[in-house]
Amino acid sequence: MKAKVYVTLKPSVLDPQGKAIHHSVELLGYEQIEDVRQGKYFEIALDANVSEIDARQTAEQIAKNVLANPVIEDYRVEIA
């Protein structure tokens, strides 16, 4: 069982790194790009015996308490 956690900056928070990446992408000639936002991706391997519900609950807790800072970030959990 694997939990995938995506951590992204809240839409209201400016992302200077994403802006710099956007600028570099434009330098490559991609003119149709409107915006780039940088985030983080985590893979959490869980014991195979864990139910999907428990896996989701555990991953949500880890995302909330460790992986994301709720002041500036949102998170999303997928179970695979």
Q: What is the contact surface with another protein in residues (CB under 8 A)?
A: 12-14, 16-17, 20, 66-67, 69, 71-72
Q: What's the min distance (Å) between Cβ of 59 and another protein?
A: 16
Instruction: State the Cα–Cα distance between residues 58 and 32, nearest whole angstrom.
Output: 40
Computed from CA positions of residues 66, 62, 11, 22, in that sequence, does the dihedral angle turn out positive or negative?
A: positive
Which residue lies nearer to another protein by CB, 23 or 51? 23
Question: What does the block give as tokens for 7?
Answer: 């951590």
- Closer residue to another protein, CB minimum distance, 57 or 69: 69
**SS3 assignment, position 47:** coil
Residue number, 14 or 48, with CB nearest to another protein: 14
